[in-house]
A and B are shown apart, each in its own frame.
Chain A
Amino acid sequence: MSALKSREAILFGAILALTTVIATRFPGFVTPTNLVSVFTDTSPLMILAMGQMVVILTRCIDLSVAANLALTGMVCAMINVAMPGLPMVVILVVALILGAALGAINGILVWKLSIPPIVVTLGTMTIFRGIIFLLTEGKWINAHEMSPHFTGFPRNEILGMPVLGWIGIIVALIMMVVMARSTMGRAIYAVGGNPHAAVYTGIDVGKTQFYAFVISGTLAGLTGYLWVARYSVAYVDIAGGFELDVVAACVIGGVSIAGGAGTVFGTLLGALFLGVVKNALPVVDISPFWQLAISGAAIIVAVAFNAKSGRSKGRVILKSAEHAQ
């Protein structure tokens, strides 16, 4: 537990150090308004990363999150175009349910057919994008076709921060409670930590993985609406390749790809780290040719740090046996 804590402390320090370095080159970056906007901008990544974390904890991976986001976002936009008067609550419920249903498809395939998760989600990733194409024939839904309350909802400010940022905070609080205080949270850690032991304690491994995919799908669905509303445009390729950012955020945040280890707080920090890098690169005046390389290097350095600090020496459970060697 202390190793995990220190890992998060290191990451937190890294974010602070990074922000300080950026501030020396561009002082405007650390103004409260800008920090709030960086946080808000990172919110979709944080929400998706928390869903991905749950899936990775159960030794699975969900590559379909970005495609789920795009499909749900497109459906929300189409509903809005067809029925502009529909209240926001309905749109949000549709986004959550559709996202959960898409996640459940992944879950069922992994649970009932025992197909490796990477294969399942690689398949559904393409299928979801294909469905958007079938729905729209490749056409865009544009800002002027969406109603003002649809695109305005994530932008409304409460206490100086847009709703989008608040949703990120609310989801984080719910996830922290679920992961630390609920039986499902425990089951998820147990399944990832040691599936065989989990079975003996009466946990259904497949079912837990199914729930993990549903959680990830639900959050992706929610983000789908938020994304489309924020950028006021929906088309086949939105958030293309974003699933890799999501996985990267988890890994930077100390979630073990082998499953069983990782915290909501760590994941949040991982997402925030990437968010700071993404938002800083445009303002610190670095050649765009270097930007990709810098993003990549930051990920590898962070992961290397994590791997080093997270490498446990192994627990000695039989003192006498150790002395005997």
Chain B
Amino acid sequence: MKFTKLMTSVAVAAGLFTGPAAAEDMRIALVVKALGIGFFEAAAEGAEEAAKELGGVEIIYTGPTDTTAEGQIEVINSLIAQRVDAIAVSANDTDALVPTLKKAMQRGITVISWDSGVAEAGRQAHLNPSSNALIGNMIIKLAADHLPDGGEVAVLSATTTSTNQNIWIDEMNKVMGNYPGIEVVSTVYGDDLADKSYREATGLMQSHPELDAIIAPTSVGIVAAAQAVADAGKIGQVNVTGLGLPSEMAGAIESGASKSFAIWNPIDLGYSATMLAHQLATEAATAEPGAEISIGRMGAITLDETNSAAMADPFVYDASNIDAFKSIF
């Protein structure tokens, strides 16, 4: 009992400290894993963009100071006390937040998760940054875009048992028919270790002298492969592409070892999460399997049987935009 009292007083106190909002404004809370992370700051920027576009929406960007579920529960409790209209959360734990978020939904607050999901019982909908099929298509497209006459490509993956990478490679193989002339000559595994990935990339260039591109759908592998290509003096001959983070890949883009790579765009993600939360909170759309929901400039998403949806293709980064993003994440 004492604990409940304490929680209530904490929540009330938190409520007191937030400034008064115009009564008619819809308040959407963007709860992130932790404050001070570039990726989430960028997502908040996207959320503000959506708010401006929608009008009459106030964004409350908040989160704990460290990436713990406990911290997020406290934050969400105070948001419930503030009676926000919607909560969009990137969760630190799939299950730990469920009871608190259920409480929020019982009070009529719209709850969605984005980026890092919450178990089905704890949210009305979930927004994935992308889908396995879209990623699988994107990684081969990145390589093929720079090979108009076809060519040899090889895949440098993480470990032989990495679930994500294996699914993406499977999805990639399914769409190979759309890229005539592109041949995947080998798939090797760098185990997400810099030294092994470097050695595997070097080996690829030796055993396939005609190699045109290395696709690395893993952030350690893509950086190591770019370094191996640069050290082998094959910049311009072998293009390294795949999935990586702008901050980690800035050097490879600068040196030319990588022409382009992809990963989700946090600004678009924050924007879309806000749009989705707004649509559900205004009851312009309902969260049910098969529902098609419009998310502004990002088009429309379709909820699957678990009420999850994929936002879009991974966003492509190249020399034209790397400088703007390398300081973000």
Question: Is B250 a contact of A282 with CB atoms below 8 Å?
Answer: no
Q: How far is the CB of A284 from chain B (nearest CB, A)?
A: 8
Name A234-248 residues within 8 Å CB distance of B: 238-242
Q: How far is the CB of A98 from chain B (nearest CB, A)?
A: 21
- Complex CA distance for A17 and B193, rounded to whole angstroms: 29
Question: Smallest CB-CB separation from A238: which chain B residue?
Answer: B194
Q: How far is the CB of B190 from chain A (nearest CB, A)?
A: 9
Question: Is B203 a contact of A282 with CB atoms below 8 Å?
Answer: yes
Question: Smallest CB-CB separation from B253: which chain A residue?
Answer: A144
Which residues of B lie under 8 Å from residue A34 when comparing CB positions?
Answer: 206
- Say yes or no: is B218 at the interface (Cβ < 8 Å to chain A): no
* Contact pattern, B 208-252, Cβ under 8 Å of A = 1, otherwise 0: 000000000000000110110001000000000000000111111
If A142-B247, A279-B199 touch, whether A155 touches B194 (CB-CB below 8 Å) is: no
Question: Is A231 a contact of B194 with CB atoms below 8 Å?
Answer: yes
Question: Is A233 a contact of B223 with CB atoms below 8 Å?
Answer: yes
Question: Smallest CB-CB separation from A279: which chain B residue?
Answer: B199
Which residues of A lie under 8 Å from residue B207 when comparing CB positions?
Answer: 26, 28, 282-283, 285
- Say yes or no: is B200 at the interface (Cβ < 8 Å to chain A): yes
- Complex CA distance for A238 and B197, rounded to whole angstroms: 12
Question: Smallest CB-CB separation from A281: which chain B residue?
Answer: B203
Q: Which of A233, A281, A282 contacts B204 (CB 8 A)?
A: A282
- Say yes or no: is B254 at the interface (Cβ < 8 Å to chain A): yes
Question: Smallest CB-CB separation from B207: which chain A residue?
Answer: A283
Q: How far is the CB of A202 from chain B (nearest CB, A)?
A: 43
Question: Is B224 a contact of A143 with CB atoms below 8 Å?
Answer: no
Question: Is B251 a contact of A232 with CB atoms below 8 Å?
Answer: yes
- Complex CA distance for A233 and B249, rounded to whole angstroms: 10
- Say yes or no: is B189 at the interface (Cβ < 8 Å to chain A): yes
> Does more than half of chain A's interface fall in helix, strand or loop, or is it mixed?
helix
- Say yes or no: is A149 at the interface (Cβ < 8 Å to chain B): no
Which residues of B lie under 8 Å from residue A233 when comparing CB positions?
Answer: 194, 223-224, 227, 248
- Say yes or no: is B267 at the interface (Cβ < 8 Å to chain A): no
- Say yes or no: is B81 at the interface (Cβ < 8 Å to chain A): no
- Say yes or no: is B49 at the interface (Cβ < 8 Å to chain A): no
Which residues of B lie under 8 Å from residue A242 when comparing CB positions?
Answer: 195
Central interface residue in B187, B189, B195, B248, by most chain A CB within 10 Å: B195
> Does more than half of chain B's interface fall in helix, strand or loop, or is it mixed?
helix
Number of A residues whose C-beta is below 8 Å from B?
29
Q: How far is the CB of A272 from chain B (nearest CB, A)?
A: 15
If A231-B224, A232-B227, A288-B188 touch, whether A140 touches B203 (CB-CB below 8 Å) is: no
- Complex CA distance for A261 and B114, rounded to whole angstroms: 59
- Complex CA distance for A145 and B223, rounded to whole angstroms: 14
- Say yes or no: is A41 at the interface (Cβ < 8 Å to chain B): yes
Which residues of B lie under 8 Å from residue A200 when comparing CB positions?
Answer: none
Q: Which of A144, A282, A283 contacts B326 (CB 8 A)?
A: A144
Interface size, B (range) = 20 to 34
Which residues of B lie under 8 Å from residue A239 when comparing CB positions?
Answer: 193-195
Question: Smallest CB-CB separation from A28: which chain B residue?
Answer: B206
If A233-B248, A239-B195, A288-B160 touch, whether A143 touches B200 (CB-CB below 8 Å) is: no
Question: Is A142 a contact of B194 with CB atoms below 8 Å?
Answer: no
Which residues of B lie under 8 Å from residue A29 when comparing CB positions?
Answer: 206
- Complex CA distance for A41 and B255, rounded to whole angstroms: 22
Q: How far is the CB of A48 from chain B (nearest CB, A)?
A: 12
Question: Is A282 a contact of B202 with CB atoms below 8 Å?
Answer: yes
Which residues of B lie under 8 Å from residue A288 when comparing CB positions?
Answer: 160, 187-189
If A144-B254, A144-B326 touch, whether A231 touches B206 (CB-CB below 8 Å) is: no
If A41-B199, A231-B224, A283-B206 touch, whether A140 touches B248 (CB-CB below 8 Å) is: yes
Q: How far is the CB of B175 from chain A (nearest CB, A)?
A: 23
- Say yes or no: is B198 at the interface (Cβ < 8 Å to chain A): yes
Question: Smallest CB-CB separation from B157: which chain A residue?
Answer: A288
Question: Is B250 a contact of A142 with CB atoms below 8 Å?
Answer: yes
Question: Smallest CB-CB separation from A275: which chain B residue?
Answer: B199
Question: Is A282 a contact of B231 with CB atoms below 8 Å?
Answer: no
- Complex CA distance for A285 and B204, rounded to whole angstroms: 10
Question: Is A143 a contact of B223 with CB atoms below 8 Å?
Answer: yes
Central interface residue in A144, A278, A279, by most chain B CB within 10 Å: A144
Question: Smallest CB-CB separation from A287: which chain B residue?
Answer: B160
If A28-B206, A41-B199, A231-B198 touch, whether A142 touches B188 (CB-CB below 8 Å) is: no
- Complex CA distance for A140 and B223, rounded to whole angstroms: 11
Question: Is A289 a contact of B160 with CB atoms below 8 Å?
Answer: yes
Q: How far is the CB of B183 from chain A (nearest CB, A)?
A: 16
- Complex CA distance for A238 and B207, rounded to whole angstroms: 27
- Complex CA distance for A246 and B187, rounded to whole angstroms: 28
- Complex CA distance for A26 and B202, rounded to whole angstroms: 14
Question: Is B223 a contact of A283 with CB atoms below 8 Å?
Answer: no
Question: Smallest CB-CB separation from A37: which chain B residue?
Answer: B202
Question: Smallest CB-CB separation from A44: which chain B residue?
Answer: B195
Question: Smallest CB-CB separation from B245: which chain A residue?
Answer: A140
10 contacts between A and B (CB under 8 A): A142-B223, A143-B226, A231-B194, A233-B224, A233-B227, A233-B248, A239-B194, A279-B199, A281-B203, A289-B160
A-side residues, CB < 8 A to B, are 26, 28-29, 34, 37, 41, 140, 142-145, 155, 227, 231-233, 238-242, 278-279, 281-283, 285, 288-289
Known A-B contacts: A143-B255, A155-B231. Give 10 more (CB < 8 A): A41-B199, A140-B247, A142-B247, A233-B224, A238-B194, A242-B195, A282-B202, A282-B204, A282-B207, A288-B160
**Closest 5 pairs between A and B when the two form their complex, measured CB to CB:** A282-B203, A143-B251, A144-B251, A144-B250, A231-B194
